[in-house]
Structure 1
Amino acid sequence: MKLDRDLQSIQEVRELMIAARQAQRDLAGWDQRQIDRLVEQIVLACEQNAGRLAEMAVEETGFGIAEDKVLKNLLGSRTVWDYIKDMKTVGIVSEDKARGLIEVAVPVGVVAALIPSTNPTSTAMFKTIISLKAGNAIVLSPHPNAQGCIKETVAVMRQAAKAAGAPDGLIGCIETCTMQATNELMRHKFTGVILATGGGAMVKAAYSSGNPAIGVGPGNGPAYIERSADIKKAVKRILDSKTFDNGTICASEQSVVTEGCIKERVVAELKDQGAWFMDAEQSQRVERLIMRPNNTMNPAIVGKSATTIAKMAGITVPLGTRVLISEQSTVSPRNPYSREKLCPILAFYTEENWERACERCIEILENEGVGHTMTIHSENEEVIREFALKKPISRLLVNTPGALGGVGATTNLAPALTLGCGAVGGSATSDNVGPMNLLNIRRVAWGVRELEDLRSAAPAAAQRSAPPQMSEADIARITKEVIKNLQAQGYQL
């Protein structure tokens, strides 16, 4: 019975959380060297199994390209580790004797990690590595459509952790995947912080759970090609990004915005590099595939190739087509082309100048994906700075593929598979999330001033002057005047 399975999954989560809490307390006795040795052993195991796990993910979910998922697995393990390995995350992390300050790292405890189906194995690796680096335990909640490959990834990491002497229960994973189990995980009293990567509804649930949460909403980043851009390189980067793992990274471009004066050159270059501009009828056929009746993204197209999507829509495109493009002039929640599309489909907008392009990009982002990421291809520093000042985003990527630049593969951003969207996007952070987001800092501060020092240092104008002293004669005179006034008003005294 479904009810029995739901109850079983809830009980399973409770047991996982008890074990994780105890394991984290045991881990609290480890020093930085021991923690780093543990995490490095897990990283090595992830590297060694990157190919096998990538193939499992594609086979189970039907999303993406195995060779690209190998790169994601390496990004989520080795690249992340190389970036964070020298971070101080245990015990005293800084000390300033001259100022009388010490900072101590304090783990949040147990991290509740929600894992998506689009990047299942790499996200499981990434969240586990940064959680353990910060001294936490972790319990993972797999997406039901990717639970097999996620559970196998956890098994690989657990085996490596055990060999490194880690306490049992440090890396937990829900075996009975139900919505009730995920809700119990997010609301559990032992949950220190929730790392939520996935759909908007799930992220909102994380923030309403009553526990601290770091959520990542949808992306919908436009790619602006400005008139000074190297058009050939700009197009290459956009298509490289949009076809990487068939567009399943949320930082990938969702639309191209360019200027009228270079439109013909941009269109010609897109066609030369494998993009297919659909006519009105073809656009309508594909449009009906993008969203479901409830106006959410259709999972049937996620991570599929352009030719597969064309076949699903019943349209004919040339062999070798890499991306499907539809020219658009409107942006709205009811226009699927102006929304997030985790597959090789792009909207194409043409504007008069960079100021109008700037407005269009803001309109696209405010329609969906506000706070996330966008790209600009330009050699004009002034225009780039104007975009940086005005766009409601957490990452402006310049002359680089969006999908790879956003996660730190082709930029010097922190390598991460959880990209914060900032307050404007409803997120608790705008960071590329890492270990420092998963610990608190306890500050020890020595007194360096006395009350007398504060008073003597205060500006004279800010100091309250003492109230004036009244003589007995003044008091008698005032009393006499008050009595006289009261008698004049008819009071008998």
Structure 2
Amino acid sequence: METLDKDLRSIQEARNLIKKAKEAQAKLAVMTQVQIDAIVKAISDAGYNQSEKLAKMASEETGFGRWQDKIIKNNFAAKHVYESIKKMKTVGILKEDKTNKVMEVAVPVGVVAGLIPSTNPTSTVIYKALIAIKAANSIVFSPHPNALKCIMETVRVVNEAAIAAGCPDGAISVISVPTIQGTDALMKHKDVNLILATGGTAMVKAAYSSGTPAIGVGPGNGPAFIEKSANIPLAVKRILDSKTFDNGTICASEQSIIVETCSKEAVMAELKKQGAYFLSTEEAEKLGKIILRPNGSMNPQIVGRSVEHIAKLAKLQVPAGIRVLIAEETRVGENVPYSREKLGPILAFYTEEDWESACERCIEILKLEGAGHTMMIHSENDEIVREFALKKPVSRLLVNTPGALGGIGGTTALSPALTLGSGAVGGSSTSDNISPLNLLNIRRLAYGVKELEDLMEPVPQSYPEGSTINLADKEQLIDMIVKRILAEKF
């Protein structure tokens, strides 16, 4: 018997899963809101109950991050996301305006392709399963090969719970033989209606160029500006809490710190006090050589790794207990590694003369990489915060909060989400924190409230010299002339 190549098996599996997903979605589409909500609740409970096990699996398999923090992320996906969507109306009539005679009806998009990264594998599966099913869609997951086991186990956990709650078989599935060809077949299949892409730049670009509608997330490269009015110890605490959370694997985490000259020494002292290590020029050069690969992309060997691991890779002698490595920088560019996204406990440190210069530096960093995503400002000056809000090319400007947890809606009132749209400037179709409302269409029923005559502007009549005017027109003309004379007189 002939054995199919891995890529062919992957393609065929994708096709089979899509077929089942389409059949399952047809059943989801006729379910009531109560039925859908029961399934969503079951997914939430299952993800929460297995949170620790899945976190440990993800950490062990990928080597990224800290399993203790991955528990928090799994719980965030299972409970915080659930709490934000549980009362959301996503089935049937969403809204009815009886005055204007317009009704809005929810329409599921259909079959969703869910691309899952290795940095946040288990939490992203829980989150995407919740929002897809809440909008009455089925979802087929394409896992990152480096996180295959933990992703497959998470899909098994949420799928079994969903089926037990009445979900059609095939509504939640995963490609078990992941290949580029299989993922490509999934994204381009005629029966896949939407791609929900979380991953590297190349994968997101592939999603947008597939011909299938897509919601993708570009890279994050968020600068954090500590303005001189800020509570410096608290600002530093928040930045380090964020950058060390799961070893910096959340794309909304800080990548650079920008300070004004007048507060530089105070900020540096506080950073050192709270566990940051400032690299010497020689040390910064050594570490800089391993941040990027020769092709200019981020080196996966630093992603989600500890300070100790990264220091060893770079052959650096770093004191015990250091939380973050920081390099002073003055440049921004493709070949300036510290100005790029670094999904690990590494930060760039820029000093600018005043807040206006800091504002321009932040824009420069974001235009290089991370436009449309997220940035942070720590300040007690509301006017400066407003100026930043008006000028920064980001979808989320976070004020006095950790970037990683603020961006996903953990420490802010933003919609809790693990897929963060970066808007048109960032190459995304939306700037939202993605929720079930992004995964459904709205059908609008509208009654006529006007006739053609109501849309026509009154046309003043004119009569050519010598023409005959009938009696009715003559009376109207006389009446108009009298009114105009009286108006001018009085």
Please report the TM-score for the alignment, with normalisation by the length of structure 2. Answer: 0.93
> Where does residue 123 of structure 2 map in the other structure?
122
> Where does residue 168 of structure 2 map in the other structure?
167
Q: Does 1:229 align with 2:230?
A: yes
1:308 Cα deviation from its structure 2 partner: 1.5
Change (3 A) 1:388 1:465: farther
> Where does residue 486 of structure 2 map in the other structure?
none
SS at match of 1:103: strand
Aligned residue runs from structure 1 range 322-337, under 5 A = 322-337=323-338
> Where does residue 471 of structure 2 map in the other structure?
none
Give the gaps of 5 or more residues in structure 2: 468-490
Change (3 A) 1:450 1:231: same
> Where does residue 351 of structure 1 map in the other structure?
352
Q: How many residues align?
A: 466
Change (3 A) 1:242 1:2: farther
> Where does residue 191 of structure 2 map in the other structure?
190
Q: Is the 8 A contact 1:376 1:399 kept in 2?
A: yes
> Where does residue 403 of structure 2 map in the other structure?
402
Q: C-alpha offsets along residues 210-269 of structure 1, whole Å, 9 cap, x if unaligned?
A: 110000010000000000000000000000000000000000000000000010000000
* d(CA) in 2 for partners of 1:187, 1:39: 28
> Where does residue 139 of structure 2 map in the other structure?
138
SS at match of 2:42: helix
Change (3 A) 1:170 1:355: same
Q: Which amino acid aligns with 1:440?
A: N
Q: Is the 8 A contact 2:35 2:166 kept in 1?
A: no
SS at match of 1:373: strand
Q: Is the 8 A contact 2:33 2:90 kept in 1?
A: yes
Q: C-alpha offsets along residues 248-295 of structure 1, whole Å, 9 cap, x if unaligned?
A: 000000000000001000000000000000001110110111011111
Give the gaps of 5 or more residues in structure 1: 472-493
Change (3 A) 1:446 1:9: same
Aligned residue runs from structure 1 range 9-20, under 5 A = 9-20=10-21
* d(CA) in 2 for partners of 1:308, 1:3: 40
> Where does residue 260 of structure 1 map in the other structure?
261
Q: Is the 8 A contact 2:117 2:198 kept in 1?
A: yes
Q: Does 1:31 align with 2:62?
A: no
> Where does residue 271 of structure 1 map in the other structure?
272
* d(CA) in 1 for partners of 2:283, 2:247: 20
1:355 Cα deviation from its structure 2 partner: 0.2
Runs of 4+ residues deviating >3 angstroms = 463-471
Q: C-alpha offsets along residues 337-388 of structure 1, whole Å, 9 cap, x if unaligned?
A: 0000000000000000000000000000001000000000000000000000
* d(CA) in 1 for partners of 2:360, 2:167: 52
> Where does residue 155 of structure 2 map in the other structure?
154
Q: Does 1:427 align with 2:428?
A: yes
* d(CA) in 2 for partners of 1:29, 1:387: 46
* d(CA) in 2 for partners of 1:21, 1:448: 38
> Where does residue 478 of structure 1 map in the other structure?
none
Q: Which amino acid aligns with 1:395?
A: R
SS at match of 1:420: coil
1:27 Cα deviation from its structure 2 partner: 1.1
> Where does residue 302 of structure 1 map in the other structure?
303
> Where does residue 243 of structure 1 map in the other structure?
244
Change (3 A) 1:19 1:272: same
Q: Which amino acid aligns with 1:357?
A: A
> Where does residue 9 of structure 2 map in the other structure?
8
Q: Which amino acid aligns with 2:223?
A: P
SS at match of 2:193: strand
1:77 Cα deviation from its structure 2 partner: 1.3
* d(CA) in 1 for partners of 2:465, 2:68: 87
1:298 Cα deviation from its structure 2 partner: 0.4
Q: Is the 8 A contact 1:307 1:322 kept in 2?
A: no
Q: Which amino acid aligns with 1:125?
A: I
> Where does residue 416 of structure 2 map in the other structure?
415
SS at match of 1:254: strand
> Where does residue 43 of structure 1 map in the other structure?
44
Query: Quick check: 435-444 or 89-98, which moved more?
Result: 89-98
* d(CA) in 2 for partners of 1:451, 1:439: 33
1:192 Cα deviation from its structure 2 partner: 1.1
Q: Percent identity?
A: 63
